[in-house]
Amino acid sequence: MPASIALKQNDSQQDLIIDPGSGLALQGRIRIPGDKSISHRALMLGAIAQGETTIEGLLLGEDPRSTAACFRAMGAEISELNAESVTVRGIGLGELREPIDVLNAGNSGTTLRLMIGLLASHPGRFFSVTGDNSLRSRPMSRVVKPLQQMGAQIWGRNNNTLAPLAIQGQQLKGIHYHSPIASAQVKSCILLAGLCAEGETTVTEPALSRDHSERMLEAFGAKLTRDPATHSVTITGNATTLTGQKVVVPGDISSAAFWLVAAAIVPGSELVIENVGVNPTRTGILEALDLMGADITLENERTVTGEPVADLRVRHSSLKGCTIAGDIIPRLIDEIPILAVAAAFAKGNTTIQDAAELRVKESDRLAVTATQLNRMGAKIAERPDGLEITGETPLRGAELDSHEDHRITMSLAIAALNAQGKTTIHGAEAAAISYPKFVDTLIQVT
């Protein structure tokens, strides 16, 4: 029987129905959407720079749309979003206008957390920010606390830890912040606040998180120094103006990860994923899959507007379990649900540790990954900071719930490709947060 893949509207939600039939293999050359992290930063830095920024390859997902809407509401002129070329006419550092309504970051933690750093450093201006159900339950104290140390005035629910938040902009002072977590959102928030703060602002993190902000801030002309030995970065406040740039956004390795795992686990598969960002602060997934015995090669390696890029060729191979823990975790933080899928099909057991951060993502990804894959027959035990996955448990089709989490939806869809029988994923529209054409590509490669 051939594979069948269909989307069905179910009230306001979509069901993704996958039946792999028999003898399914993934073949072809595919392009993935633009990197979400880089897309947010290009829109934000473009908005606060002087002159024009052009963005090629912007992710057209819901999250960057939230960023664009927020910065338009504060005076930046951002052309209609498309993947070819978006133009941002910036309004200059410290010049964001007071919006006449609440800024809504939707589902996007990156939008909310990075933006707060900029807003807090606009003296005399008032801002209120919120998000959807998921974002309003995610911890904001991790950015509110360091910003308060810089002199920010921020109020919010639950003792200033949850959105909606109200921000009365202030002249901030630079600090040296030792972050207890390796989080690019925290680091970037503080660096953006530091742009207009007095003196120097330094962030030291326990392990290196993605460095797209550092790369792009430097390209736009910010005065920034890095100390790789201590995972520290320092920005000098009021040092220069930022100047609009041309940004070419590479494909998102976090989106490529679904196809890497799909081709690795489905017998007979071979895919080439073109134009993938391979910034070393993001390639933990390649290292983890390599440890598991996956057959992935990098081709056509190049650098595009300051970010390393390559085409990835992946062929099916038999995988083995491994342990994933420590400093690699921030470099594959968004790929853990799909790694759990790979581990369920691997020989031997896989242990994922030091990943408690997953509990405060768009959903509690440790709990949701375990419960949903276990419904398919996987054997995954949840630990406070990770997962224990028993390998080689044959999966069967099941009725599943995305928990409105884009990465969970897509991970479950890949698991369904290698399961026996029909899987239905409720709430599959969540994929549009980071990958609006996911199902089209799924149909293309099967």
State yes or no: 41 annotated in a binding site. Answer: yes
CA 12, CA 112: separation in Å to the nearest integer?
A: 25
- Is the separation of the CB atoms in 260 and 287 below 8 Å? no
CB of 185 to ligand S3P, least distance (A): 3
Among 24, 74, 184, 309, binds ligand S3P (CB under 6 A): 184
CA 245, CA 87: separation in Å to the nearest integer?
A: 10
From 211, 254, 231, 230, select the one nearest 361 (Cα to Cα).
254
CA 30, CA 32: separation in Å to the nearest integer?
A: 7
338 lies in the binding site for ligand S3P (CB under 6 A): no
CB of 272 to ligand S3P, least distance (A): 25
State yes or no: 8 annotated in a binding site. Answer: no
Among 14, 66, 104, 110, binds ligand S3P (CB under 6 A): 110
Angstrom distances, CA of residue 30 to CA of 59, 81, 255, 437, 443: 16, 22, 11, 12, 12
State yes or no: 183 annotated in a binding site. Answer: yes
Single-letter amino acid code for the residue at 58: L
In terms of CB distance, is 107 or 418 closer to ligand S3P?
107
Single-letter amino acid code for the residue at 347: K
Q: What count of Cα atoms within 13 Å lies in the side-chain half-sphere of residue 213?
A: 31
Stretch that binds ligand S3P, among 7-15, 24-32, 161-169, 181-189 (CB under 6 A): 181-189
State yes or no: 185 annotated in a binding site. Answer: yes
Among 129, 276, 333, 414, binds ligand S3P (CB under 6 A): 333
Q: Are strands 103-104 and 126-130 parallel, antiparallel or unpaired?
A: parallel
CB of 37 to ligand S3P, least distance (A): 3
CA 372, CA 427: separation in Å to the nearest integer?
A: 13
185 lies in the binding site for ligand S3P (CB under 6 A): yes
- List all residues 6 or more positions away from 225 whose beta carbon is below 8 Å from its beta carbon: 233, 234
Stretch that binds ligand S3P, among 145-153, 163-171, 183-191, 243-251 (CB under 6 A): 183-191
CB of 280 to ligand S3P, least distance (A): 15
Residue 274 tokens read as 């073109």
Restricting to residues 5-64, name those near ligand S3P by CB under 6 A: 37
Element (H, E) at 162: strand 162-168
Residue given tokens 């970051």 in the structure block: 105
In terms of CB distance, is 5 or 324 closer to ligand S3P?
324
CB of 338 to ligand S3P, least distance (A): 13
In terms of CB distance, is 19 or 334 closer to ligand S3P?
334
State yes or no: 334 annotated in a binding site. Answer: yes
- List all residues 6 or more positions away from 395 whose beta carbon is below 8 Å from its beta carbon: 344, 345, 373, 376, 377, 378, 415, 418, 419, 420
Stretch that binds ligand S3P, among 184-192, 286-294, 346-354, 413-421 (CB under 6 A): 184-192
CA 95, CA 128: separation in Å to the nearest integer?
A: 17
| Given 211, 252, 334, 401, the catalytic residue | 334
235 lies in the binding site for ligand S3P (CB under 6 A): no
Among 311, 334, 405, 429, binds ligand S3P (CB under 6 A): 334
Residue given tokens 């995954």 in the structure block: 380
CA 29, CA 200: separation in Å to the nearest integer?
A: 46
CB of 257 to ligand S3P, least distance (A): 12
From 261, 320, 255, 329, select the one nearest 291 (Cα to Cα).
320
Q: Are strands 52-56 and 246-248 parallel, antiparallel or unpaired?
A: parallel
Residues near ligand S3P (CB under 6 A), total: 11
In terms of CB distance, is 333 or 389 closer to ligand S3P?
333
CB of 21 to ligand S3P, least distance (A): 34
Stretch that binds ligand S3P, among 23-31, 180-188, 239-247, 297-305 (CB under 6 A): 180-188
User: Torsion over CA of 58, 330, 260 and 215, rounded to 10 degrees?
Assistant: 40
Task: Report H helices in 21-163.
Answer: 36-48, 62-72, 109-120, 141-149, 157-160
CA 64, CA 70: separation in Å to the nearest integer?
A: 10
Restricting to residues 350-369, name those near ligand S3P by CB under 6 A: 357
Residues 186-225 as x/- pattern, contact with ligand S3P by CB under 6 A:
--x--------------------xx---------------
183 lies in the binding site for ligand S3P (CB under 6 A): yes
Q: Does 334 participate in catalysis according to the annotation?
A: yes
CB of 114 to ligand S3P, least distance (A): 7
Restricting to residues 114-143, name those near ligand S3P by CB under 6 A: none
- Is the separation of the CB atoms in 90 and 53 below 8 Å? yes
> Which residues of this protein are in contact with ligand S3P, per CB under 6 A?
37, 110, 183-185, 188, 209-210, 333-334, 357
Question: Where is the binding site for 3-phosphoshikimate, in residues?
Answer: 36-37, 41, 183, 185, 334, 361
Question: Where is the binding site for phosphoenolpyruvate, in residues?
Answer: 36, 109, 138, 185, 365, 407
Give catalytic residues, as residue numbers: 334
